[in-house]
Chain A
């Protein structure tokens, strides 16, 4: 048996460092929100030959379209702008085609009104809150105690913070945006995190049932030792899948999969090293009182 809990200070340190740098990034750089949440237009054109970005910018400006981002990658042109409608888009496309003498294929044109964006954000938050509540209630029943549920939820919040912090760094350095896909990834991480925690807690629950209320620290260490191989193997298989999707998959899901990857790592890490110490601490606390 390995005494994992002896190194709790190390886990706290690692988590503090990771979450701390994420929070710093959030405060310093913030996030880039996609049009899903703030409204606006998002356009992707495929051009049939190379062109000059400056000329494109001029034409866009003369069409009275306020862009917040204008990017040319190979022959693909990306815009972000205040909401425009399909007529303005057609006009812009026409102007670009005639002035730059090229052919454009619209790969994507999305416009979301600002009201819808705000609503989506609210609804997603409510859904996440309800999902958390659902987990709390189910776990309290399944494990016959609030401590198990609380520890699992706190570890989940830990993972949530790690993921959003990391994403802010992605956002600053690679231009990732907070969009519906990101929200999906966060929710996936949260459910994976709890899933993983339950496996360990199930062991502890079993010892408590079979051997009575003994030393919780001892039980926890034993559970960790016995589940460690399984945790690592399981995460490994998920990571194979995600790594392959990150490296080979399409560009539009790259950030999504990268987020899932971060989520899997932190979800696997937090179950033994965050959730379990919290559980031990909570159990000890409630025993004293």
Chain B
């Protein structure tokens, strides 16, 4: 019996530790020694049987609360073979992720969404302020293309500039390039960009140069000509250089945009949501105060109306809040405004479980049963209603959360955030409403009997 109590106490301490607020500095004096530390939630960094375990229990806030940008790009798949579609989507996703990381955003989320036969890529950039720069960076479809002369009327051919005659795409592009780097011309020291082709690319490049000896081949980036050298001979070793009147900076940025990869599909920005960080912070603070105030009212009401049982219910409710919050931090669940709403609704339902149980207990007592029998019967009777009510709520939450990511259901974050916290909250309340309230009643009333 004693061991059990110690176990519960330890569990409670860990629970509270996980739920502690973040970064609260504490300064105080005990006699003469000054104590100075910062309160932080539990973080584990250890290894168990050689497996490293690292976990920080911190609240993750969504873009609407923390500020940041949510961008959705629509891909143009019209020129894509169905067989290549998935691969190019995934590689586009990876490239965007690379570019975003390059921009220094912490914890970006990049994912592909399918809707009918439209494919989209959504990009979440928490805490970013300069959106146009980010959009610019992601959106630059650094499509490198090698162009050759198309069919041109020989009469005009001599009068139009070379660049305008290079109208035929050779099929050789950014995807065939393994690496681009800045080098310097050995003769005049001019910066230039050296390209190294993939094996396939090298073969293709050999073909292209082979059939264009003595003719110009243009190198275009996003339809802008960079240079149009005339081919001297067939090049088979898979290397090429782009020369031009580059400064070192220009050569560097060109090599970066080639390296960070040409997107295999053209993309277009169709949705963007940018929330400034100050708006979110204010909302969180206000809602937090309101939430605490509301919860206090609920607890007060329970104690006033149900007396001793109300105190037990309040304790169960506080434990419920701690467990749910600990789960949010452990998974971790990204909290958004609708997510907070889901949590609040689930608190309401947790309170309801307790009220249901108490009303049933009272009912049994009115029938003349003694307290311990009334508790047992009351719990048994209430459990059916609680189970059915909560399972319907869970069903709704499940459909809204759309766990299989079906395309005909909402795939956007807001509704899903709501559904997730609601589901976790209701699931936990099934546990606390029944198990913990029961334990608490047993503990408190039994001890009292012994005392008598």
Contacts and interface: CB of A to CB of B under 8 A. Distances in A.
A23 B388 CA distance: 32
Interface in A58-90: 85-87, 89-90
A181 B337 CA distance: 9
B210 interface: no
B290 A230 contact: no
A90 B273 CA distance: 14
Interface string B406-429: 001111101100100010000000
A105 B411 CA distance: 31
B298 A131 contact: no
Nearest to B274: A109
A244 B341 contact: no
Contacts of A157: none
A92 interface: no
B301 A241 contact: no
A256 B408 CA distance: 25
B347 to A, nearest CB: 7
B282 interface: yes
A209 to B, nearest CB: 10
A39 B88 CA distance: 28
B221 interface: no
A185 B305 CA distance: 29
Contacts of A256: 337, 341
Interface in A126-153: 126-127, 130-131, 134-135, 138-139, 142
B360 to A, nearest CB: 9
Contacts, number: 217
A123 interface: yes
Contacts of B289: 248
Given A194-B392, A199-B389, A253-B283, A113 B271 contact: yes
A51 interface: no
Name the residue among B270, B289, B305, B390 with the largest chain A CB count within 10 angstroms.
Answer: B270
A195 interface: yes
Contacts of A184: 338, 341, 414-415, 418
B278 A134 contact: no
B363 A226 contact: yes
Interface stretch (B11-19, B179-187, B227-235, B393-401): B393-401
A191 B298 contact: no
A131 B395 contact: yes
Nearest to A180: B414
Contacts of B393: 191, 194-195
A185 to B, nearest CB: 8
B132 interface: yes
Interface stretch (B91-99, B140-148, B349-357): B349-357
A187 B273 contact: no
Nearest to A90: B132
B270 A127 contact: no
Contact of A195 (B295, B359, B392): B392
A233 B355 contact: yes
Contacts of B359: 226-227, 229-230
A240 B270 contact: no
B101 interface: no
B254 to A, nearest CB: 23
Contacts of A240: 294, 297-298, 301
A86 B135 contact: yes
B274 A250 contact: no
Given A107-B279, A108-B279, A198-B388, A134 B399 contact: yes
Interface string A84-122: 011101100000000000000111111111011001100
Interface string A234-267: 1011101111110111111100110010000000
B282 A230 contact: no
A191 B396 contact: yes
Interface string A157-201: 000000000000000000000001101110110111011101100
A111 B271 contact: yes
A173 B430 CA distance: 40
A234 B389 CA distance: 14
8 contacts: A44-B279, A86-B269, A111-B272, A127-B410, A194-B393, A199-B385, A234-B351, A245-B344
Interface of B: 72, 74, 115, 118, 131-132, 135, 269-276, 278-279, 282-284, 286-287, 289-291, 293-295, 297-298, 301-302, 305, 337-338, 341-342, 344-345, 347-349, 351-352, 355-356, 359, 363, 381, 384-385, 388-393, 395-400, 402, 408-412, 414-415, 418, 422
Please list the 7 inter-chain residue pairs (A to B) with the smallest Cβ-Cβ separation, ordered nearest first: A244-B294, A250-B283, A113-B270, A248-B290, A202-B385, A241-B294, A240-B297
